[in-house]
Amino acid sequence: MDRLRGRERELLHASAVLSSTRRSGRTGLLTVEGVAGIGKSALLRAVTDLAREQGFTVGSGGGEESSRVLPLSALLSALRAGPEPVLSQAAFAELGRLYDRQPWLVERLADALAVAASRGPLLVVLDDAQWIDQLSVFALRVLLGRLARQPVCWVLAGRPDPDGPLERVRTAARHVNAVFHLTLGPLDEEAVTLLARDELGADPDPALHALLERAAGHPLLVSSLLAGWRPAAEGPGEPEQPGTSGTPGALPHQLVLAVRRQLDSLPQASVRLLRTGAVLGRRFRLTDVAAVLDEPAAQLIAPLEAAERAGLLEHDGPAVAFRHDLVREAVYEDLPVAARAAVHRDVVSTMLRQGRPAAHLVPHVLGELSPAAPEDTAPAERRRAAGLLRAAATELVPATPAAAAQLLEHALRLLPADSPDRLDVGLEALEAAGAGLQVEAAADIGLALLGEVTTALDAGRVWWRLAGPLRALHRDEELREGVARTLEGLPDDPVGAPVHLRLRAVRALASSRDRDPAAATSSARSVLADAERLGDRDAVEAALLALAESAARQGRHQGALLPAREARVRHGGPARSAEVAALTGLERYEEARSLLAEASEVHRSDVWRTLPEHVWRRSLLELFAGRTDLARAEAEHLLQLGEDFEEFALYRAEAHCVLARVVGTRGDALAGRRHVEAARSGLVPGDVQQHLTLHVVDGRLAEGAGNDTAAVLAFTRALRLRREHGLLGAGPDYDSAPQIVRVALRAGARELAEEAAAGAAGYAERNPGVPGIQGIALHAGALLTGDVDGLAEAVRVLATGPRVPVYSVAAGDLAALLADAERRPEALRAWRRASDALASWGASTVIVDPRALALQDGARRLSREEPHPLDGWDALTAAERRVADHVGRGGTNRSVAAQLGVSPHTVSTHLRAVFAKLGINSRVQLAHVVATRSDDPFPRGGAGSR
């Protein structure tokens, strides 16, 4: 460990992470933090050498100040670096087609890295993490989890920043096997002396020793002094100590002085080269300097050689680079502010002439402005800068809409108050934030714009775009009131007519969640007729969706399906949530699955925005169908999305409610309560349906635990919410109506039982011909009156539909009533049907009438005594076995998803669980496991068993 003086302890930690990764076959993470010039890059080079000695394939790169807005530039700089890059050209080309669909992009990147890791351990090194672009940060956060069971070691280094990229990546390392964090400080005196001996071959003389002491252990200063940098004695008033100033991240004063004095000793042509290069970035091409200076590149050869001899520049492949980024910063900071801005302006002009993408201009556009007060810049220059930032945002919004929104907000701040472009730029910022699912930020931008607009027409434009974010936040009343005020002030002329129409469509949408959805339906029909007459496609779509949501609010699924489907057919794109919800309510599960599968693969840049809601819809669908393994996988995937995409947390409470129901039906009340509490912490204040769902889940868990009093209290709260807010749609209280009736009667709360049964009956009237809805109503009504034959009819009706869970509960309740009526043979047959159905979807007897359990002694007992194994093949669920078998035989995530009728993300979720339970790390190992089991003439557990 003598390869890096003074960093022996740090190298030992790094070696431990590498060894752990190689030995365990699981991910390791090392983060290194320290001020500029403290030796982070030198440590990373030593770690890279160690890794190569241990057989790692290495990819090394990093962030650059000049490219921190370029999507995925930092990570790809590492994965595509070197003669044998970690990421193949074919894999890289496939990623290029997915830049505007982040979840898909990262999944494919994870697959590509898993393939590379199957050939041997990988080391991915990223330096200067403080400048890593947003998409690279997101990808790193996700990849840490996706590749947790792969031999991939990640090493990141950056400057201290409590909210910076390094910290954001580190907080995502929950599933990582080995995690180390190092904070680099100054070298001690012994290390400095040893460095001097290494460089000089002898101890430093007293004069040099005095200079080294004044370097305060700063590695770059020490190496600079040893390499021959011996600045003259400082003049009066200069600080005695050459270390960093008190400001975090400030340049070491001695280094600035040293660089300044070196510049004074160089030819003027070399100084011009260095200063222009410093504005371009740490790495730059000589041709770019020549273009900015407007002179032949050949004239820069001699100045370049002089800068190299001075130790300031070095060759870096086809480019030239400063020896250290601190050297570049010292040259940059030594430029007068006005001169620096002028060079940035020249760079912008040059790049525009060369036709560079606008995103490449962003650092230089910002560099043109006064750093202390951009408003001091002339209005014309500010408008020009805002225009360029706006163009860059247009390029970035498909891949990183959040970054685009930040640029547009910056552009908005630059524009003078009287600029005619302010409203357009603000609306683009609002839409970009919404595209990035930053709905609160989008709402804030829109409301701020409303404070600036001076006409009702402009206010109408804002409300039209603000509708999506406010509805996502369930601020419908605020939306309705604002739209109503604006409609009153709109001019009654041809200019105001289109805005008037769109605001009417927004009002209809906002009113679809009101207590009077019938009025919203009437309003939406009027808007639809006018929109079709005027040919406003967007208003037509809004009106159709308002009709669908109004019908859903009234609990009329067929009425919701038709306009929702028409919206998709007319306007294209992925399935709207309203259509999936309607198909689910109508129990047309295969159609809903088909739409969701199609939506997950549609190649449109806006598809990923619908991903969280579609995952939630899929989890509900599978829960209702009794495919609880799939429901659990989808809900867990939704929670993972919330962790991966910090913006994707809108359905976190819904996911926990699904998981609570899954584990509750399997008798794990404690886990169910944990999910209930997690859901409660994520409730959206204005989302009534969310609160209602949680109360129902709470009641179901309480009943399963035998606490009828708590169950009645929770169910009462749920039905009160439905009554107070006029909710007639497919709430979970209808799904649970029989359970509510049963527990209410047991607890003596007959009014609650009657209300639940009446609600189920009304829901059935509004949805004729749907077996599950009809059967649930019959079930609840029969329990209320003790009608055995009516309950038998409910079981018969439910048997014709796809809802196995409600059928199994009804059959169990029928068994209990038949036993009470002393019709034991029929009761035994009913219990057999109930127990078979319960076993088919992995449910526990806690969800059926306790009186039915006495029948188990006379019929086949539902076996739940044998504990389920935690690892090995027998620990896999039926769904996990199917995925394991298909993938082990060579299937890709996409092909397996198509075969099983699930999403590729679901396959990925199952696959991670398979790896964990089997204790393997790769598809190659899984193929061996599957092949071995195929050779076994007596394999344990068939593909359909649990």
| Res 237: pLDDT | 37
| Res 732: pLDDT | 59
Whether 72 shows a pLDDT value over 80: the answer reads yes
Report for 135-139, 224-228, 446-450, 640-644: range of highest mean pLDDT? 446-450
Please compute the mean of the pLDDT values over residues 232-255 and round it to a whole number: 43
Please compute the mean of the pLDDT values over residues 856-862 and round it to a whole number: 55
SS3 annotation, 309-345: HCCCEEEECCEEEECCHHHHHHHHHHCCHHHHHHHHH
221, 225, 227, 262, 882 from 200: Cα distances, Å: 16, 11, 9, 22, 67
Of 215 and 941, the structure prediction assigns the larger pLDDT to: 215
CB 715 within 8 A of CB 745: no
pLDDT digits 0-9 by tens, 782-835: 999 999 999 999 999 999 999 999 999 999 999 989 988 888 888 888 888 888
CA nearest to 252, candidates 177, 327, 172, 314: 327
Residue with tokens 């792969």: 150
| Res 885: pLDDT | 83
| Res 236: pLDDT | 36
Express as a percent the part of the chain with pLDDT over 70. 88
Least confident of 331-340, 386-395, 689-698, 723-732: 723-732
SS3 annotation, 483-526: HHHHHHHCCCCCCCHHHHHHHHHHHHHHHCCCCCHHHHHHHHHH
Q: Quick one: how far is CA 167 from the chain centroid?
A: 17
244 Cβ neighbours under 8 A, 6+ residues apart: 35, 218, 250, 251, 252, 253
Main-chain phi, psi angles of 180, to 5 degrees: -130, 145
CA nearest to 798, candidates 765, 776, 813: 776
Whether 923 shows a pLDDT value over 90: the answer reads no
Whether 894 shows a pLDDT value over 90: the answer reads no
Length of the chain: 946
| Res 388: pLDDT | 94
Q: How confident is the model at residue 853 (pLDDT cuts 50, 70, 90)?
A: low
Please compute the mean of the pLDDT values over residues 585-606 and round it to a whole number: 79
SS3 annotation, 419-473: CCCHHHHHHHHHHHHHHCCCHHHHHHHHHHHHCCCCCHHHHHHHHHHHHHHHHHC
Report for 527-531, 641-645, 817-821: range of highest mean pLDDT? 527-531
pLDDT digits 0-9 by tens, 268-320: 999 999 999 999 988 899 999 999 999 998 999 999 999 988 888 888 878 89
Q: How confident is the model at residue 649 (pLDDT cuts 50, 70, 90)?
A: low
pLDDT digits 0-9 by tens, 399-447: 888 889 999 999 999 998 888 899 999 999 999 998 887 888 999 999 9
| Res 104: pLDDT | 77
Q: What is the mean pLDDT of the chain?
A: 84
- Distance from C-alpha of 252 to C-alpha of 264, rounded to nearest angstrom: 19
Neighbouring CB atoms inside 10 A of 681's CB total 10
| Res 463: pLDDT | 96
